[in-house]
Every structure is written in C-alpha cells, then in structure tokens.
Structure 1
Amino acid sequence: MPHVVGYAPGVYDLFHVGHLNILRHARSQCDYLVAGVVSDEMAELAKGRRPVIPLVERLEIVRSISFVDAAFVETVPDKVETWKQVRFDVIFKGDDWRGTAKGEKLERDFREVGVEVVYFPYTVHTSSTQLRRALSLLEGDAGRLHEAGLQ
C-alpha cells in the first residue's frame, strides 16, 4: 500500500473552524499530512496585508492540531518550488480556487510532476477576512463609545 503524503498550505491567521475542517478533511485523504504555513512576507505578497498573528505563533497552533503530522514554513510563492522541498503526493486547496486562473495554473504545474490537486468546500460562514472585518467594526464601536464618554 502506497504511503500518501498530503500538503495543506494556508496562512492560518486567526485560526478558525474552516482551517480545522480543511486539515481534518486533508488528513482523512492521506497517510501523512504536512501543513504549509505561509510566512508573513508571502502572505503580504499574496493578500496585500500581513497576518494578525505572527508566523511563530501560527506555526505553533498548526503544529498542535492532531491531524497535522508536520508543519512547514512556506517562503516562496511557487508551490512547485515548495513541492521540491517537501515532496508531497497530493495538495489540498479550498474550492474557491477551483476554475480560477490560479487554480488552473496550480493543476497544470502539478500535473507535470504527478501531484494530485484536491479541492475541499470553502467554509462560507467563517473566514479570517470576516473575522478581521468584525474585529475592525468592534474596535470602531469601542472608539466611538470612548469618544462619547460612554466607556
């Protein structure tokens, strides 16, 4: 029976149930799961902003998840370059990548090296972006209350 190594990359900022679901589902489809934790610099390059939680803390959180066998710091934007270091058999992504230019490039690149791309349902009701927005609104409300002398 082949030993299947899976790779689940992500920023894993403001860790939430969507992150947990991806790691749980990924682990169910491989024998050994490596979580790729995107560096602060790569996250800023990809998303235009740095994570709220520093890399060392995100790495510790992800390493502590029982579904994760190892964590790897992703420092380059090219996933094939990461594959050359980690050597996984399957990569897991949220299905928000499916059918996009990024997803199609990922599939093409990995087809060439024999890596399968597996998509999982994106957790619509919870995302780090939504959490950031809610925190920003709460901070704004607290500031307005303070300015009004109500806090």
Structure 2
Amino acid sequence: MVHRVGYAPGVYDLFHIGHLNILRHARSQCDYLVAGVVSDEMAELAKGRRPVVPLPERLEIVRSVRHVDAAFVETVPDKLETWKQVRFDVIFKGDDWRGTEKGEKLERDFAAVGVEVVYFPYTVHTSSTLLTRALNALVTPGSGEARTAP
C-alpha cells in the first residue's frame, strides 16, 4: 500500500547530476515518486526556449531512473491542476524557489489542499542552462557545426 506520494516536477533537459540528486532525495522522502516532465511547450513558456532534448526522450530518461516509480507529462502551468490529476502528498522543488514569489505562491496554493512543499539544495555548479551555453560555445556561428579542439 502506498502511503506518501511525492511529486518532483522539472524539465529534465540535458539530464545531469542535479536532476539525479533531486530524484534521489525525493524518493528517500516518499513511498512512491512521480516525476513530472514538463512538455516542450510549457518549458518554452516558462524559460523562453524549447528544451534541447525532445519530450519523448526526456520522458524515457526520467522514467528509467531507478528512483522514479512513474513519470507524468506536465502540460499546464498551474501545479494545482497537475495535483488534481496526480494526487500527490508532497511536492519537491529546488531551494532556488524558496523565498521567491513563485515559491511562496506554491506554498500557499498547496497548503490549501494539504500538500507539503519540500525544498532540496539546488546544484549550482551544473545546470541545463550552463550545459546549453557550453554546447552553444562549441558551435561555430552560422555553420551549425561543432568546432574541433586545437
């Protein structure tokens, strides 16, 4: 019997150690972990750019992580709407949300339905944004081809 369902939303683009850490820590604090994989359209809306890795591939990667019991595609920006579909007891976010307007709204919204918000340390030294910048720096402007090391 499942007692505590956790939900760990994210884009999970260019999967890296920060993603793995969130999923590992989340699973240690619940009996059943659902990873919410944000759709390409929702990621573009939230971040101003589409993910490098398309949704079906990101979903398969996240679904294959041993800490994840199920993966869910997020297609709406409102986490409460997602909660109505998934019905989790706790939501996990990076601590870069703590104390922000978005984080405070999340906490208020979920307090109203009895869902706990748990923050985990954000992996500062590795992020999909930094990886994307590094990849873009390897591409010769205009050619679309990767540069070779000298």
User: What CA distance in whole angstroms lies between the structure 1 residues aligned with 2:59 and 2:88?
Assistant: 19
Aligned runs of 1:26-65 on 2, under 5 Å? 26-65=26-65
Gaps of 5+ in 1: none
Gaps of 5+ in 2: none
Whether the 8 Å contact between 2:138 and 2:146 is mirrored in structure 1 is no
Letter of the 1:135 partner, please give it: L
Counting matched residue pairs gives 148
Query: Which structure is higher in helix share?
Result: 1
The residue aligned with 1:18 is 18
Give the TM-score normalised by structure 2.
Answer: 0.93
User: What CA distance in whole angstroms lies between the structure 2 residues aligned with 1:20 and 1:49?
Assistant: 22
Matched, 1:122 2:122: yes
Letter of the 1:82 partner, please give it: T
Post-superposition offset of 1:138: 1.0
User: What CA distance in whole angstroms lies between the structure 2 residues aligned with 1:2 and 1:138?
Assistant: 46
Indicate how the Cα distance of structure 1 residues 34 and 146 shifts in structure 2: closer, same or farther if over 3 A, else same.
Answer: closer
Post-superposition offset of 1:146: 8.9
Post-superposition offset of 1:81: 0.2
Give the TM-score normalised by structure 1.
Answer: 0.92
Which structure would you say has the larger Rg?
Answer: 1
Post-superposition offset of 1:65: 0.1
Structure 1 stretches of 4+ moved >6 Å: none
The residue aligned with 2:78 is 78
